[in-house]
Copies of this chain bind each other. A is one copy, B any other.
Amino acid sequence: MNLRERKKRRTRDALLRAALELFATRGYEETTVDDIAAAVDVSQRTFFRYFAGKEETAFFVPRLAESLVVEALRTRPPGETPLEALRRAVLESWDAINEAVEELVPIDLHMRVYRVIESTPALLAAHLRRSAELEEQLAGIIAEREGLDVDADPRPRIVVALFGGVIRVTERLWSAGDDVTLDGMRELTTTYLDQVGPALAGNWRAKQSP
C-alpha cells in the first residue's frame, strides 16, 4: 500500500472515530460536520470526500457486520430450514463480526453508537431502511436455497420479514436495557429467536411465556 493510500486510510479512520466518539458523547444532532472535520483538522469539504454524508459515518460499522451475516447465510448447509439457516447465520458470525469491528473502532464505542442510533429519530429511520435492504438480500439468498423465484413466491420475503422483526425487537430492548454488552445482546437474540415458534402457536392464554 502506497504512502498515499495509507494516508487516506488514516484520515478516513480518524474521521470515523472522531465522528463516532462525538455522537456517543454529545449526541448525533448536536454534532456538526464542522466539529468532526475540526477534530481531525481537515476541511469540511474533505469530510464529504470520504463520506457521502454525516449519516454514513454512523452506519459504517453496521454495514461491515451486515456483510458478514450475508456471507454466513450463503454458506449455510442446504439441509436447514430457512428460519434455522437465518438463525445460525446470525449467531455464528457473531465472533467474526466482533473481530472485524474491533480492527476499526473499539467495540465499546460501537455499542454506544448503537444506542445513539436507536434513540435518534433520523438515524433510526435510516437504520430501518438499511435493514429493509438487507432483508431483501437475505430473501434472495433464501429463495435461491429453496429453488424459488423471489418475485413469484412471497414466502421467502415473509420469513425474512419475521426474522428481521424479531431481530429489531431484540435490538430495541437491548439498547433500552442495562446490559449494554455484546454478550448481553447475543443472549437476548437467542432467547427471542427461540420464542418465535410459541408466539405463532395461537392461544397464548393457555401457557405463559417464561
Q: Which residues of chain B are within 8 angstroms of A208 by Cβ–Cβ distance?
A: 153
Q: Count chain A residues whose beta carbon lies closer than 8 angstroms to a beta carbon of B.
A: 41
Interface contact A155-B124, CB-CB below 8 Å: no
User: Which DSSP category, helix, strand, loop or mixed, fits chain A's interface?
Assistant: helix
Q: How many copies does the complex hold?
A: 2
Q: Which residues of chain B are within 8 angstroms of A153 by Cβ–Cβ distance?
A: 208-209
Q: Which residues of chain B are within 8 angstroms of A198 by Cβ–Cβ distance?
A: 155
Q: A65: CB under 8 A from chain B?
A: no
Binary interface encoding of chain A residues 61-94 relative to chain B, with 1 for a CB under 8 A from any of its CBs, else 0: 0000000000000000000011100000000000
CA distance A209 to B158 in the complex (A): 13
CA distance A122 to B123 in the complex (A): 11
CA distance A161 to B195 in the complex (A): 13
Candidates B81, B168, B200; contact of A203 at CB < 8 Å:
B81
CA distance A126 to B158 in the complex (A): 22
Interface contact A146-B81, CB-CB below 8 Å: no
CA distance A39 to B144 in the complex (A): 50
Interface contact A205-B147, CB-CB below 8 Å: yes
Q: Which residues of chain B are within 8 angstroms of A148 by Cβ–Cβ distance?
A: 204
Interface contact A169-B157, CB-CB below 8 Å: yes
Interface contact A128-B121, CB-CB below 8 Å: no
Knowing A81-B202, A125-B126, A202-B81, the reply to whether A161 touches B165 (Cβ < 8 A) is yes
Q: Which residues of chain B are within 8 angstroms of A10 by Cβ–Cβ distance?
A: none
